[in-house]
Homo-oligomer: A and B are copies of this chain.
Amino acid sequence: MLVQDDLVITHLGPCAFESPLKRRAIQGFCDDRRILAETRLAPGAITASSVAFEEAGPRARLFFDPAQTTAAIVTCGGLSPGLNNVIRSVFLELHHNYGVPRVLGIRNGYQGLNPAEGLPPIELTPDRVEPIHNFGGTMLGSSRGPQDPGIIAQFLIDQKIDILFCVGGDGTQRGAHLIAQELLRRRLPKAVVGIPKTIDNDIAFVATSFGYNTALEKAAEVIEAAHVEAIGAPNGIGLVKLMGRHAGFIAAGAAVASQDANFVLVPEVPFPLDGFLQALDARIRRRGHALIVVAEGAGQHLIDQAATACDASGNVKMLDIGPFLADRIKAHFQQAKLPVNLKYLDPSYLIRSIRANASDCLLCDWMGRYAVHAGMAGKTDVMIGYWSHEMVHVPIGLAIRHERHMELDSDLWLAVMLTTGQPNWPIPPAR
């Protein structure tokens, strides 16, 4: 249960400078505008909870003097559509609107914040960033894994960086939190602002993460291709593996968007393998084709039997659910003496490396610019959230303490159940 204290944002100190942003466009935005954390009235309740996020946006007064500020941006983890848009909007907002003279691009994720890696930052310019939103990927490069917060703090001191924007997922935000805490401990007036990146849409307090809608678009296209294959051959079965290690948002969303899926398997529902195969068998006998969408994180509850079956040397590995399911399906129909044509599609890189679609372009521009507003106002250890169609400030420490899953009583999962007609497998209570 959220309490208001969890939602308090850390400030570096009083705001001594006036914002150069055009007056009237920013009127109304202030620390007092708040967005309720709970938009649903609790069943039976007659009073709404007033626990609320601070609304994000430009502030009339700033902690940092724009003319004296240096900012840096780093992108971490796997690719997601929109990374370049975020880099570009952060830069353009700092450069054109605030007049910040020096903005650095950190190379290859957190590696570029460790001098030992030998990757000096690059200085961003309008020419350099101008066309990048037309391309997928990140112009700064990326990498996985953390670096020592102490080393990073020293790097920020050496490079005279006042604000660090950290674009990345759960792990990246954990790193950003540690950096922010280290800077606060050293009483350094430096801000760390997180921008959530997760193609899986699984970061807390981010209703829709950038890249997610683009991913749905492409994933739905892949599902349609699999559908064409499935209906083009006798007893055709299309099996599509989509992203989603801990949450089935992409699998569910793309399945509903395409309207072609008959089964959607997600991490949130530990489906029974036999039950699934029986339902698939029935579908094939009845209709002559079937289409299955599986999130990469689905079926991990099958890992023990899989590990035992697959790996004689005793190593228990993460189960690659795609080939595993393909094998089991083939085995089932071989035993049932029903010849099927199974086509397995694993489009992963094709989805995450494309350019952002229009709604993601909007999200990226908002998140990037609002992160700048937060940083210039001296807020730190703060992540940009997106809640009730509004941008909000979320303490990073709070965001990383929560996990976001697809609720099984949500509109999205209901849509999956209604469009696929798949069995409503019971969820084991022990989960």
| A binding-site residues for B, Cβ under 8 Å | 21-30, 32-36, 38-41, 43-50, 52, 55, 57-58, 79, 88-89, 92-93, 96-97, 108, 111, 131, 133-138, 141-143, 207-208, 213, 216-217, 219-220, 222, 225-226, 228-229, 231-234, 253-254, 256-259, 343, 345-347, 349-350, 353-354, 357-359, 361-362, 365-366, 369, 388-391, 408-409, 411-415, 417-419, 421, 424, 426
Q: List 6 A-B contacts (CB under 8 A).
A: A22-B424, A26-B414, A137-B228, A257-B358, A362-B412, A362-B415
Residues from chain B with Cβ under 8 Å of A57 in the complex: 411, 414
Instruction: Name A41's contact: one of B36, B216, B409, B424 (CB within 8 Å).
Output: B36
Instruction: Name A347's contact: one of B23, B33, B350 (CB within 8 Å).
Output: B350
Residues from chain B with Cβ under 8 Å of A33 in the complex: 40, 43
In the complex the two chains form, is B79's CB within 8 Å of A253's CB? no
CA distance A29 to B217 in the complex (A): 28
Q: In the complex, what's the smallest C-beta–C-beta distance from A323 to chain B, in angstroms?
A: 12
Residues from chain B with Cβ under 8 Å of A43 in the complex: 30, 32-33
CA distance A69 to B24 in the complex (A): 52
Instruction: Name A415's contact: one of B30, B48, B366 (CB within 8 Å).
Output: B366
In the complex the two chains form, is A25's CB within 8 Å of B365's CB? no
Number of copies: 4
In the complex the two chains form, is A137's CB within 8 Å of B231's CB? yes
Q: In the complex, what's the smallest C-beta–C-beta distance from A309 to chain B, in angstroms?
A: 20
Residues from chain B with Cβ under 8 Å of A346 in the complex: 346
Residues from chain B with Cβ under 8 Å of A41 in the complex: 34-36, 50, 52
Main DSSP-derived SS at the A contact region: mixed
Instruction: Name A389's contact: one of B97, B225, B254, B389 (CB within 8 Å).
Output: B389
Instruction: Name A93's contact: one of B27, B142, B228, B418 (CB within 8 Å).
Output: B418
Q: Contacts A350-B350, A361-B256, A417-B22: A35 and B46 contacting too (C-beta < 8 A)?
A: no
Residues from chain B with Cβ under 8 Å of A347 in the complex: 347, 350
Residues from chain B with Cβ under 8 Å of A412 in the complex: 362
Residues from chain B with Cβ under 8 Å of A259 in the complex: 88, 133, 361, 365
In the complex the two chains form, is A141's CB within 8 Å of B234's CB? yes
Q: Contacts A35-B39, A411-B391, A424-B22: A253 and B96 contacting too (C-beta < 8 A)?
A: no
The 4 closest A-B CB pairs, nearest first, are: A28-B409, A137-B228, A25-B417, A39-B388
Residues from chain B with Cβ under 8 Å of A22 in the complex: 417, 424
Residues from chain B with Cβ under 8 Å of A345 in the complex: 349-350
Instruction: Name A349's contact: one of B89, B136, B225 (CB within 8 Å).
Output: B225
Residues from chain B with Cβ under 8 Å of A418 in the complex: 21, 24-25, 93, 97, 369
In the complex the two chains form, is A414's CB within 8 Å of B232's CB? no
CA distance A234 to B138 in the complex (A): 12
CA distance A36 to B48 in the complex (A): 8
CA distance A345 to B408 in the complex (A): 33
CA distance A166 to B41 in the complex (A): 29
Q: Among the interface residues A25, A36, A142, A234, which one has the most CB atoms of the partner chain B within 10 A?
A: A25
